[in-house]
């Protein structure tokens, strides 16, 4: 490939950092990985490939990012441009939130929210509607003000909030084009505090769910589905911590904690109510340290907020069967939005997350039960995590799916960005599957 480095992936699938996702549970089957350094190279690579996907920071847990050819944007258009009048920042799609936070810190600026880890690339996170927590906080895609995309014919397309297609493009599942630049809302930098409360009785969670999730700017409930809820993490933007030493029946921790009990809290952001910058309190995990356990598979399901307590109770009913394979679950809240393929489209949600042991067969068995239990609540899976439901089921839960399908037909008429994951879980039977795709062997 002219002007770019092309790296051949071995045809067999060794578990190595370059050929598997972060978790190591998926080995990419792509025949080539491109690493362009200019926009012009991205355009030529995309236009020439029969089937292609952008590979982000590889933190998804499935084949969502796989295709016959992959292109990494980590080394392209990475400069950070702040617009103080518009209060936005524009970055390359391959930039990680942790890197962006450092730049914003120097400018005295901040983002409204972050995921549990700063390690993930901005465009990959946004494409899958990655989220943090907070009753009033939308997912990370809701902060996007403008996108620059390279479409499958090599054109550069820009869309801004308010444009006709914008709400369909942002959570694009990697299927619209290569997001080369992304503009995000910023606000003045702020300080936060984080506290952990331990041993919340289940009855308290069920009876006071709204009071608990609204007791901080961002609240996460961690449980292994045992006798009590293990931990509640409260992230507060208040100047001073007005909380007492108890939160209903839970008691404030007196030491730093890891969400997975027994793991070293050195990997985690500071707690114990010590004030610090937004970027060092909103994520649970610190840049430069392993997030979560490092040996795991993750799944997550979003249910409408009005069904949140019933959905949590339904999963608690499965406790004896999921406990053997669970490391921890996290329950968060995410505000409604208008982005067509966002799990929060038109509804405030409660997110029920599972960090499983790295045992694919046992996880599959547990997922059958979890998905059956959550189906009556219209659960929408996290696009970047492992789920089993196929397009027939998922499609019914997305009222703008036909509009999204039409958008794909317009932006990618030759179907270069369509892959097996998209066909299997979102589009169903797909007449535009590209020739030369992985499905052709």
Ligand X SMILES: Cc1cc2nc3c(=O)[nH]c(=O)nc-3n(C[C@H](O)[C@H](O)[C@H](O)COP(=O)(O)OP(=O)(O)OC[C@H]3O[C@@H](n4cnc5c(N)ncnc54)[C@H](O)[C@@H]3O)c2cc1C
Min separation Cβ 289 and ligand X, Å: 11
C-alpha angle with apex 309: 305 to 311, nearest 5 degrees?
85
When asked if residue 286 is in the footprint of ligand X (CB under 6 A), the reply is no
Quick note: the x/- pattern for ligand X over 374-393, rule CB under 6 A, is --------x-x---------
When asked if residue 138 is in the footprint of ligand X (CB under 6 A), the reply is no
β-strand 69-72 against 52-55: which pairing, if any? parallel
Closer by beta carbon to ligand X, 54 or else 363? 54
When asked if residue 115 is in the footprint of ligand X (CB under 6 A), the reply is yes
When asked if residue 55 is in the footprint of ligand X (CB under 6 A), the reply is yes
Min separation Cβ 62 and ligand X, Å: 8
CA 104 to chain CA centroid, nearest Å: 21
When asked if residue 328 is in the footprint of ligand X (CB under 6 A), the reply is no
Q: Distance of CA 12 to CAs 28, 109, 378, 381, Å?
A: 10, 46, 39, 30
When asked if residue 30 is in the footprint of ligand X (CB under 6 A), the reply is no
- Which one among 34, 43, 59, 433 touches ligand X, defined by CB under 6 A? 59
When asked if residue 407 is in the footprint of ligand X (CB under 6 A), the reply is no
Q: Which stretch binds ligand X (CB under 6 A): 126-134, 158-166, 360-368, 372-380?
A: 126-134
Helix orientation angle between 360-374 and 308-316, rounded to the nearest 10 degrees: 140
- How far apart (Å, rounded) are the C-alpha atoms in residues 204 and 419? 44
Closer by beta carbon to ligand X, 57 or else 349? 57
When asked if residue 53 is in the footprint of ligand X (CB under 6 A), the reply is yes
Q: Is 199 exposed, middle or buried (0-12, 13-18, 19+ CB in 10 A)?
A: middle
When asked if residue 168 is in the footprint of ligand X (CB under 6 A), the reply is no
Min separation Cβ 275 and ligand X, Å: 22
Contact partners, residue 436, CB within 8 Å, separation at least 6: 50, 51, 68
When asked if residue 343 is in the footprint of ligand X (CB under 6 A), the reply is no
β-strand 246-247 against 250-252: which pairing, if any? antiparallel
C-alpha angle with apex 20: 339 to 426, nearest 5 degrees?
30
- Which one among 46, 95, 179, 282 touches ligand X, defined by CB under 6 A? 179
- How far apart (Å, rounded) are the C-alpha atoms in residues 218 and 213? 8
Here the tokens at position 425 are 């879980």
When asked if residue 22 is in the footprint of ligand X (CB under 6 A), the reply is yes
- How far apart (Å, rounded) are the C-alpha atoms in residues 343 and 325? 25
Contact status, residue 217 vs residue 242, Cβ threshold 8 Å: no
When asked if residue 123 is in the footprint of ligand X (CB under 6 A), the reply is yes
Closer by beta carbon to ligand X, 175 or else 312? 175
Q: Which stretch binds ligand X (CB under 6 A): 117-125, 162-170, 253-261, 308-316?
A: 117-125
When asked if residue 100 is in the footprint of ligand X (CB under 6 A), the reply is no
When asked if residue 222 is in the footprint of ligand X (CB under 6 A), the reply is no
β-strand 32-35 against 69-72: which pairing, if any? parallel
- Which one among 36, 138, 174, 343 touches ligand X, defined by CB under 6 A? 174
When asked if residue 171 is in the footprint of ligand X (CB under 6 A), the reply is no
Q: Is 297 exposed, middle or buried (0-12, 13-18, 19+ CB in 10 A)?
A: buried
Closer by beta carbon to ligand X, 54 or else 316? 54
When asked if residue 130 is in the footprint of ligand X (CB under 6 A), the reply is yes
Q: What residues make contact with ligand X under the rule CB under 6 A? A: 22-23, 53-60, 64-65, 73, 93, 115-117, 120-121, 123-125, 127-128, 130-131, 173-174, 178-179, 291-292, 298, 382, 384
């Amino acid at each position: 490939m002219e002007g770019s480095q092309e790296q051949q992936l071995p045809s067999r699938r060794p578990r190595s950092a370059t050929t598997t996702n972060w978790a190591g549970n998926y080995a990419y089957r792509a025949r080539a990985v491109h690493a362009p350094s200019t926009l012009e190279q991205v355009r030529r690579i995309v236009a020439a490939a029969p089937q292609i996907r952008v590979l982000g920071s590889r933190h998804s847990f499935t084949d969502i990012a796989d295709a016959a050819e992959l292109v990494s944007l980590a080394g392209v258009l990475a400069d950070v441009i702040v617009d103080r009048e518009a209060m936005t920042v524009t970055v390359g799609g391959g930039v990680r939130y942790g890197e962006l936070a450092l730049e914003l810190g120097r400018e005295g600026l901040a983002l409204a929210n972050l995921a549990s880890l700063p390690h993930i690339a901005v465009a990959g996170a946004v494409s899958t509607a990655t989220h943090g927590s907070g009753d009033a906080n939308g997912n990370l895609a809701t902060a996007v003000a403008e996108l620059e995309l390279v479409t499958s014919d090599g054109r550069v397309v820009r869309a801004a909030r308010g444009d006709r297609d914008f709400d369909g493009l942002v959570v694009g599942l990697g299927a619209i084009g290569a997001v080369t630049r992304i503009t995000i809302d910023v606000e003045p930098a702020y300080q936060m505090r984080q506290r952990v409360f331990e041993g919340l009785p289940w009855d308290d969670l069920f009876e006071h769910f709204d009071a608990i999730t609204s007791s901080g700017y961002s609240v996460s409930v961690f449980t292994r589905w045992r006798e009590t809820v293990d931990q509640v993490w409260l992230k507060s933007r208040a100047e001073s911590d007005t909380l007492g030493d108890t939160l209903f029946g839970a008691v404030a921790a007196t030491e730093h904690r890891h969400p997975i009990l027994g793991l070293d809290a050195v990997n985690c952001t500071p707690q114990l109510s010590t004030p610090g910058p937004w970027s060092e309190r909103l994520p649970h995990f610190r840049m430069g340290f392993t997030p979560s356990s490092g040996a795991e598979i993750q799944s997550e399901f979003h249910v409408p907020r009005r069904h949140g307590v019933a959905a949590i109770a339904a999963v608690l009913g499965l406790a004896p069967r999921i406990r053997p394979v669970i490391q921890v679950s996290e329950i968060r809240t995410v505000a409604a939005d208008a982005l067509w393929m966002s799990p929060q489209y038109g509804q405030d949600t409660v997110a029920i997350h599972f960090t499983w042991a790295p045992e694919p067969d046992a996880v599959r068995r547990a997922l059958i039960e979890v998905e059956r239990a959550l189906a009556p609540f219209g659960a929408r899976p996290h696009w970047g995590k492992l789920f089993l439901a196929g397009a027939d089921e998922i499609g019914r839960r997305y009222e703008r799916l036909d509009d999204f399908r039409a958008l794909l037909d317009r932006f990618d008429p030759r179907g270069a960005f369509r892959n097996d994951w998209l066909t299997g879980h979102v589009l169903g039977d797909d007449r535009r599957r590209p020739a030369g795709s992985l499905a052709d062997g």
